[in-house]
């Protein structure tokens, strides 16, 4: 919301894209919270809406609204990927792109690359923004949540300033993980 407000005067189109992303994320989070409350109250299985997956990662580019440019590349055959792993890849990509839009100073491009690496899937999200100059990880739970999600699936996640400039999030997840 702060990014949208800051951009409203100088770049209304980008501000609108930022606000649309916030609205979609908030709506999705509210749906997930309601399902969790129902589950906790009566012990019945919640009725989840269809979850996004690997095939939906390309939609991230459209959600940003055109600035910065989001380039999505998916290389490999992921037909046998479990739905749970697809959701994890999508959520990590979504958070990484959201962080880049929100925090990368002067970024013009965000690259999302998903690659088949034998028994693993590598997800790399890079932006070309200016380094924040502090060398410290930004506050918040987004990076922690992405790392926890990767770890729960037996994978790993590294995030930090890229030596060539910008910020990189690199997740490596095993394909054979049993998820629903």
DSSP 74-85: EES--TT--HHH
Q: Is residue 136 very low, low, confident or very high in pLDDT (cuts 50, 70, 90)?
A: low
Sheet harboring 156-161: ordered strands across?
69-75, 109-117, 120-127, 167-174, 156-161
Q: Average pLDDT, stretch 156-173?
A: 94
Q: 135: left (phi > 0), else alpha (psi -120 to 50), else beta?
A: left
Which one is the CATH code of 52-180: 3.30.565.10, 3.30.930.10, 3.30.1490.190, 3.30.590.20?
A: 3.30.565.10
CB neighbour burial string for 36-71, b if at least 16 within 10 angstroms, e if fewer: eeeeeeeeeeeeeeeebbbebbeebbebbbebbebe
% the chain with pLDDT above 90 = 36
Taking only the tens place, the pLDDT of each residue in 39-81 is: 566 555 555 667 888 888 888 777 777 778 899 999 988 888 8
Cα–Cα distance, 117 to 75 (Å, whole number) = 10
Return all residues near 171 (Cβ < 8 A) that are at least 6 apart.
89, 92, 122, 123, 124, 146, 150, 155, 156, 157
Cα–Cα distance, 12 to 146 (Å, whole number) = 30
User: What mean pLDDT is reported for the chain?
Assistant: 83
Cα–Cα distance, 63 to 79 (Å, whole number) = 24
pLDDT of res. 62: 76
pLDDT of res. 166: 93
Helix axes 83-103, 12-42, angle to 10 degrees: 140
Q: By the 8 A CB rule, do 60 and 94 touch?
A: yes
pLDDT of res. 157: 97
Cα–Cα distance, 133 to 111 (Å, whole number) = 22
Q: Where are the domains of the chain?
A: 1-49, 52-180
Q: By the 8 A CB rule, do 88 and 127 touch?
A: no
Q: Kindly tell me if the per-residue pLDDT of 108 is higher than 80.
A: yes
pTM for this predicted structure? 0.70
Q: Average pLDDT, stretch 121-139?
A: 78
Q: Kindly tell me if the per-residue pLDDT of 105 is higher than 90.
A: no
Q: Kindly tell me if the per-residue pLDDT of 145 is higher than 70.
A: yes
pLDDT of res. 39: 56
């Amino acid at each position: 919301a702060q990014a949208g407000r800051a951009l409203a005067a100088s770049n209304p189109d980008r501000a609108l894209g930022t606000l649309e992303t916030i609205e979609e994320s908030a709506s999705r989070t509210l749906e997930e919270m309601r399902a969790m409350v129902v589950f906790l109250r009566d012990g019945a299985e919640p009725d989840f809406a269809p979850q996004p997956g690997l095939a939906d990662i390309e939609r991230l580019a459209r959600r940003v609204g055109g600035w910065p440019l989001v380039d999505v590349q998916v290389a490999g055959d992921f037909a046998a990927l479990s739905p749970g792993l697809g959701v994890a890849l999508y959520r990590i990509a979504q958070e990484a792109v959201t962080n880049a839009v929100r925090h990368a100073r002067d970024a013009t491009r965000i690259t999302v690359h998903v690659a088949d690496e034998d028994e693993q899937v590598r997800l790399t999200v890079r932006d070309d923004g200016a380094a924040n100059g502090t060398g410290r990880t930004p506050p918040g739970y987004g990076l922690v949540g992405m790392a926890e999600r990767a770890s729960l699936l037996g994978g790993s996640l590294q995030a930090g300033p890229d030596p060539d400039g910008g910020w990189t999030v690199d997740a490596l997840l095993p394909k054979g993980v049993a998820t629903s």
